[in-house]
């Protein structure tokens, strides 16, 4: 059994390889370097019908199933008019499927937040929106959220952000998700060993 933390990333825009999706990939890459198993649900995977509580299609089942099993989550969104994008919000609406789980919604999971925008005002308000949604889903937003100015942001062929300050933010979000997920996994293993 693989005991490494399993971290899921969701985000991006309707346009594949957007800045927010690249930022998410960079953060997940940092998690992989720390030893985590990761899975990305980017633009293509999030192009889901509006959530209405009816039977889920295969793409939605796959995403919801991954989040059900994950130890931590990173959400990356562009700031659209001061809030998270409809694409990302709709994906989070699908987590209503987890309401009756033993770990409902995002209970007991650290959630890193990444917001990309062309201005500081939009970044700040969108971070608040994402964190509020995570709280409503019983998740634990990490103390650090990455607020990335998309203007002129570039990534190299390895997925590293060429802006050192932005890369540092993405790595810190990853580290905080890792720390919390690893701590929770160790605590559960210890409880199991003691028969608790």
Q: How many residues does the chain have?
A: 196
Domain positions in the chain are: 6-194
Cβ 176 vs Cβ 110: under 8 Å: yes
Q: In the predicted model, is pLDDT for residue 1 greater than 70? A: no
Backbone φ and ψ of 142, nearest 5°: -65, 155
- 6-194 CATH choice from 3.40.190.10, 3.30.460.80, 3.30.930.10, 3.40.50.360: 3.40.50.360
Q: What is the DSSP letter of 76?
A: E
Q: With bands split at pLDDT 50, 70 and 90, how would you rate the model's confidence at 192?
A: confident
Average pLDDT over residues 178-195: 84
Average pLDDT over residues 7-14: 94
Which residues share a beta bridge with 74? Answer: 9, 112
Token pair 């995403």: residue: 63
Average pLDDT over residues 16-28: 92
Q: With bands split at pLDDT 50, 70 and 90, how would you rate the model's confidence at 155?
A: confident
Question: Where are the extended beta strands (E) located within the chain?
Answer: 6-11, 37-41, 72-80, 83-84, 110-117, 140-141, 146-149
Q: Which of 188, 175, 184 is nearest to 36 (CA)?
A: 175
39-86 pLDDT, tens digit each: 999 989 999 999 999 999 999 999 999 999 999 999 999 999 889 999
Cβ 176 vs Cβ 170: under 8 Å: no
Q: What pLDDT, on the 0 to 100 scale, is given for residue 165?
A: 92
Q: Give the contacts of 42 (CB within 8 A, at least 6 positions apart).
A: 10, 11, 12, 16, 21, 24, 25
Q: In the predicted model, is pLDDT for residue 193 greater than 90? A: no
122-147 pLDDT, tens digit each: 999 999 999 999 999 999 999 999 99
């Amino acid at each position: 059994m693989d005991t490494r933390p399993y971290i899921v990333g969701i985000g991006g825009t309707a346009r594949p390889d957007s800045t927010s999706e690249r930022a998410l990939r960079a953060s997940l890459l940092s998690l992989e370097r720390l030893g985590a198993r990761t899975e990305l649900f980017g633009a293509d995977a999030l192009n889901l019908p509006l959530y209405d509580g009816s039977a889920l299609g295969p793409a939605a089942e796959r995403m919801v199933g991954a989040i059900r099993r994950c130890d931590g989550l990173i959400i990356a969104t562009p700031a659209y008019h001061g809030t998270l994008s409809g694409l990302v919000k709709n994906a989070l609406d699908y987590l209503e499927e987890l309401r009756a789980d033993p770990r409902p919604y995002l209970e007991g999971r650290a959630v890193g937040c990444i917001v990309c925008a062309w201005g500081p005002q939009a970044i700040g308000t969108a971070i608040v929106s994402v964190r509020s949604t995570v709280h409503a889903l019983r998740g634990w937003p990490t103390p650090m959220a990455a607020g990335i100015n998309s203007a002129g942001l570039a990534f190299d062929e390895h997925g590293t952000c060429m802006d050192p300050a932005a890369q540092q933010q993405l790595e810190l979000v990853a580290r905080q998700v890792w720390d919390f997920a690893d701590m929770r996994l160790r605590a559960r293993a210890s409880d199991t060993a003691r028969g608790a």
